[in-house]
Amino acid sequence: MNGSVDSGGSTINSWTFTKDPVDIADPTFSVPADALDVTVTFTEAGTYTLTLTADDGQSLVSDSLVVDVLGGAAPWLAGVTTNSVYVCLEVDTTANATVDYGLTTAYGSSAVTESTDATSIGTYVHNVRLTGLLPNTVYNYQVTHGTSVSDNYTFRTAPEPGTPAHFGYAGDSRSDTYNHNLIAAHMALQNPNMMIYGGDLCNTNTYASWINEWFVPNQVALNATTPSVNTPGNHEGWGINTKAFTESPNGTDGEGGGGYFSYDYGDVHILVLNTEIGRSQGSAQWNFAAADLAASNAKFKIVAAHKPSLSYGMHGTDPEMATMTTLLFEPYGVSFVLFGHDHFYQHNEKNGIYHLVIGSMGVEPRSPGTGEFEVYSEKTECFGIFDTDGEDTLTLRTYRYTEGAPQTPGTSTLIETFVVSVGPPETDPPTPDPATFASAPAAVSDTAISMTATTGTDASGPVQYYFDEVTGNPGGTDSGWQTSASYTDTGLTASTMYTYSVT
C-alpha cells in the first residue's frame, strides 16, 4: 500500500491498523515514522482496515483500505484409501485447482477439483481426489491454482490387508497453539502414515478459530504429508467450517453428509462417529454403525468418537455412546474405542474393549477421576501410535508430552503399550442361511403388519435382522438393521398389499 503527498510543505505520515475493529498493538504491525511505503506481514487471518493519515500541521487527510487475510496457504491431505486420497486447499474462488502427482517429481498424472466447500467468510476449500494409486506406495504431488504453485509434497497410500500399517491418534488441541505446535512436531517424529483426530481441533466454530488454532506451522507441515480424518468435537461443532476443513474417504462429509463414516487401513477397520448429531438407538448414525460393524471381517476394529463411551472425570461417560458400546461395539469385536472431550489420559477396560481417553493435544490437561473399570490415568498431554504387523497383531503405544520451561520445547515419553492378537476372521454366515420367518407377516390392524424372524446364531456374535418391504406401496418401511428378531411396520394404507423379506 503506497501513500503520496500532492502539495508542497512538510507532512507527517502515520499508519494505523484495525481488526474487527480493535486497534492492533502487535509489534509485527509497527512501521517507521513518516513512512509512505509499507509492507505488512499478518500473523492472523481476518478482516483488517489499513489507514494512512497525512498531517501538514494545518489539516489531516486519510485513506483506508480493507484487506481480507486468508489462512490455510499449504495444502492438506484427507481420506486416504489404498487407491485414492483427497488433496485439499483453500482459495478465494471456485475456479478449478490442479494437482499433479506421481511416483517421482516428474509426476505424470493430474486431477482437478472434484468439489468445493464454502467457508463462513466466503472462501472455498477445493477437494481434489487423486485416483488410480497403488497401495502402500509413496507419491509426490504439487498443487496449482491460477498462477500459484505449491512446493512438492509426498504421502503414502493405505496398505492392503496383510500388510503392516503405521498410523496415529490425537485430539483436543483447541486454543493452546504453542503446545499444540510442539506436540505436532513430536507426532511427526513418529512418522505416522495416517492420522485420526479426536475433535476439538479449535476452540470455536469460527473461521478465525480454525485458521489461527488448527493451522499452526508444525500441524500444517504434518497435514501436507499425512492424510487424516476427524471426528467432530463440541467446540468446532458440525457446521460450515468443519465441513469445509475436513473430508472423509468417500468425499461426501461422511454417510449421508452426517460426518460419520468408515474405512479400512490395512488389517484395521476404522469407524468414525459424529457425537455432535443424533446417535441414539434407531437413528441413522446408529443404523449405519450397526450395519458397518456387522459387515466388517477385518482382523481389528477401532471406533473413534469425540465424546467418551467410558470415562471418569471432567465430562465423564456419554450415555448414548455407552449404550452403543453394549449393543454394538462389544458384540462385534471392537478392540479400541478412542475419544477425547476429557482433557487427560485414561485407560479403561470393560468386556474386552480398551476405552482410551487421549484428550489433550495442546489444551491444558485436567485431573482425571477414578472408577470401576479404570486401569491407569494421568494428567498429561498425550497422543497414540498404532502398528500392525500384517499378520495377527495390533500394537498401540501411547505417549505423554511433558512441557518444558516457558518457550522451551518439551519431551515425549512412553506411557503404555497395548498388544491385541487375533486369529483369522470368522466369515461363515449366520444360521439359518438364508434367514426365515418364524412368524410370517400378518396384519395386526388396518395400518400395521407384524412379523418375526427365526432366531439366528453365529460364532462371531449376536445376529442382526433386516426386514425389507419389497412392493414399495405407500407407507411401507424397511426396518433397517436391528438386533430384535421382531418388527412391526406401521402407518400402512388400509386394503393394500405389502410383501416382506428378511435378511
Higher-confidence residue of 33 and 99: namely 99
Specify if 347 maps to a domain. Answer: no
Nearest in space to 131 (alpha carbons), one of 114, 115, 143: 114
Query: At which residue does the C-alpha cell 477439483 appear?
Result: 113
Say if residue 119 is in the same domain as residue 24.
Answer: no
180 has pLDDT over 80: yes
Specify if 176 maps to a domain. Answer: yes
Say if residue 204 is in the same domain as residue 262.
Answer: yes
CA distance 103 to 133: 10
Specify if 297 maps to a domain. Answer: no
Q: How does pLDDT run across 382-394, given as a tens digit for each residue? A: 999 999 999 999 9
Tally of structural domains, the chain: 3
Q: How does pLDDT run across 361-387, given as a tens digit for each residue? A: 988 999 999 999 999 999 999 999 999
Query: At which residue does the C-alpha cell 462385534 appear?
Result: 332
Confidence of residue 208 (pLDDT cuts 50, 70, 90): very high
CA distance 262 to 159: 16
CA distance 163 to 265: 9
Say if residue 105 is in the same domain as residue 211.
Answer: yes
pLDDT at 137: 99
Higher-confidence residue of 52 and 123: namely 123
Say if residue 120 is in the same domain as residue 204.
Answer: yes
Say if residue 398 is in the same domain as residue 495.
Answer: no
Over residues 289-309, the mean pLDDT reads 96
Q: How does pLDDT run across 243-254, given as a tens digit for each residue? A: 999 988 877 666
pTM of the model: 0.73
CA distance 366 to 345: 9
Domain that holds residue 165: 76-273+380-421
Say if residue 173 is in the same domain as residue 244.
Answer: yes
E strands in 316-473: 336-339, 345-350, 353-358, 374-378, 381-388, 393-402, 411-421, 437-445, 448-453, 467-469
